[in-house]
């Protein structure tokens, strides 16, 4: 026979409400009654369903996470850090992707307006739609945004300082004497990509180095974009002496294209990436890249969201925090170093 709270109440000779108070440790129950209920619970090896318990107090102990993708290593690291922080707080995580096969607005509405979660962690760096903006700013569901576009003001957001990271990367290449520094950009309209490109442009301008359209290639953060991006760059009359890839996956593609084209790194071409994913550490030479504070962002997002849910953090006051990056020095930029090091 399936044991539920009603059967426990029947065997203990009490109401279901009394069983619930004993199991939740809340409410006034006499010691004799409590011991009698616990004895029946132990005898039947009964555990109160956590979902039912959450619904009874209008909470599910579950947070929703909406990310652009789930397959890229960057997002896998982010999911891992969020899950670890949620587990430490005895919370569950429900994850969804807003990739091109699904409508972002429908995904977010399902999370935010449904009764299955207590709050949402949302990363949508390509948000432009006014309907989605209205949904985000008007929803009563607790929300923390990651890498929110700059035009979204009325929310709690944690953001990687992409501009700072790009400035550090390009400045480091200039320090080696490279001047024909190409860039393989991220997707158009993507906040992270736009901020990294702005950092690249700012360094060139401050260094009085002319901006060249023929040294810019549009990419989409994939390995293939890096591969074909380098092939395009080296097919032109003016060839780069260094490449700044807007993320590490595209930098990996640059490595593959360089190998196929018999181009030596860094002797013939210096390469710098962004994100410091695990795969970048396995390249030879080790990729010089910008470290993104992904674990810190994931754990901070969970802490902030739980604070908003509990009322300890105000959801009415807009908050935007920039998380600092660091430059991880490998051998791909021309540095003669046996091991990588982190320059903050």
Q: Are residues 102 and 173 in the same domain?
A: no
Q: Are residues 106 and 225 in the same domain?
A: no
Domain at 224, CATH number? 3.40.50.2300
Q: Are residues 151 and 167 in the same domain?
A: no
Domain at 21, CATH number? 1.10.260.40
Specify the pLDDT at position 212.
94
State the average pLDDT over residues 335-344.
58
**Widest CA span in the chain:** 89
Residue 234 has pLDDT above 90, yes or no: yes
Q: Are residues 234 and 246 in the same domain?
A: yes
State the average pLDDT over residues 115-126.
81
Q: Are residues 181 and 310 in the same domain?
A: no
Residue 115 lies in a domain: yes
Asked which of 92-101, 204-213, 319-328 is least confident by mean pLDDT, the reply is 92-101
Q: Label residue 34 by pLDDT band (50, 70, 90).
A: confident
Q: Are residues 95 and 117 in the same domain?
A: yes
- From start to end of the chain, where are the E strands? 62-67, 92-97, 119-123, 143-146, 156-160, 181-184, 216-217, 242-245, 270-275, 288-291, 319-323, 326-329, 341-343
Residue 264 lies in a domain: yes
Query: With 0-12 CB in 10 A as exposed, 13-18 as middle and 19+ as buried, what is 146?
Result: buried
Residue 54 lies in a domain: no
Residue 53 lies in a domain: no
Residue 257 lies in a domain: yes
Q: Are residues 116 and 201 in the same domain?
A: no
Tokens of 338: 């046996």
Nearest to 181 by CA among 131, 243, 122: 243
Higher pLDDT, 151 or 225: 225
Residue 234 lies in a domain: yes
Nearest to 105 by CA among 133, 146, 125: 133
Q: Are residues 334 and 237 in the same domain?
A: yes
Q: Are residues 188 and 279 in the same domain?
A: yes
Specify the pLDDT at position 27.
64
Half-sphere exposure of 304 (CA within 13 A, CB side): 25
Residues of the domain holding 308: 62-161+294-324
Q: Are residues 200 and 276 in the same domain?
A: yes
Higher pLDDT, 309 or 111: 309
Q: Are residues 156 and 230 in the same domain?
A: no
Residue 101 has pLDDT above 60, yes or no: no
State the average pLDDT over residues 284-307.
95
Specify the pLDDT at position 114.
66
Q: Beta 62-67 vs 92-97: how paired, if at all?
A: parallel
Residue 20 has pLDDT above 80, yes or no: no
Residue 56 lies in a domain: no
Q: Are residues 267 and 307 in the same domain?
A: no
Specify the pLDDT at position 55.
46
Dist CA 219 CA 240 (whole Å): 17
Dist CA 19 CA 239 (whole Å): 75
Residue 51 has pLDDT above 50, yes or no: no
Specify the pLDDT at position 47.
64
Tokens of 262: 């018999």
Helix/strand/coil percentages in the chain, nearest 5 = 45, 15, 40
pTM, 2 dp: 0.78
Q: Label residue 111 by pLDDT band (50, 70, 90).
A: low
Residue 166 lies in a domain: yes
How many domains does the chain divide into? 3
Average pLDDT, the chain: 86
Q: What are 180-189's pLDDT values in tens digits? A: 999 999 998 8
């Amino acid at each position: 026979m399936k044991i539920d709270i009603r059967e426990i109440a029947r065997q203990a000779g009490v109401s279901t409400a009394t069983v619930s108070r004993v199991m939740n440790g809340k409410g006034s129950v006499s010691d004799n009654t409590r011991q009698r209920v616990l004895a029946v619970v132990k005898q039947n090896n009964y555990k109160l369903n956590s979902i039912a318990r959450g619904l009874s107090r209008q909470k599910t102990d579950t947070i929703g996470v909406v990310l652009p993708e789930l397959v890229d290593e960057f997002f896998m690291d982010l999911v891992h850090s969020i899950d670890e922080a949620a587990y430490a707080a005895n919370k569950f995580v429900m994850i969804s992707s807003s990739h091109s096969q699904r409508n972002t607005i429908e995904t977010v509405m399902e999370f935010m307006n449904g009764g299955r979660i207590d709050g949402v962690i949302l990363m949508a760096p390509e948000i432009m739609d006014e309907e989605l903006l209205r949904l985000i700013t008007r929803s009563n569901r607790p929300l923390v945004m990651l890498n929110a576009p700059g035009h979204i003001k009325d929310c709690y957001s944690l953001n990687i300082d992409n501009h700072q990271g790009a400035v550090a990367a390009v400045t480091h290449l200039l320090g080696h004497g490279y001047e024909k520094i190409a860039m393989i950009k991220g997707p158009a309209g993507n906040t992270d990509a736009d901020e990294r490109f702005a950092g690249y442009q700012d360094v060139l301008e401050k260094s009085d180095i002319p901006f060249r359209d023929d040294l810019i290639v549009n990419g989409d953060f994939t390995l293939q974009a890096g591969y074909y991006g380098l092939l395009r760059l080296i097919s032109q009359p003016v060839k780069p002496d260094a490449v700044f890839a807007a993320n590490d996956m595209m930098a990996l593609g640059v490595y593959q294209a360089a190998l196929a084209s018999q181009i030596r790194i860094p002797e013939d071409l210096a390469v710098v990436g962004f994100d410091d994913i695990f795969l970048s550490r396995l390249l030879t030479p080790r990729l010089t890249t910008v470290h993104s504070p992904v674990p810190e962002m994931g754990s901070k997002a969970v802490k902030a969201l739980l604070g908003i849910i509990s009322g300890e953090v105000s959801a009415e006051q807009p908050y935007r925090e920039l998380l600092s990056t660091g430059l991880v020095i490998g051998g791909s930029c021309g540095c003669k170093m046996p091991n990588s090091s982190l320059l903050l």
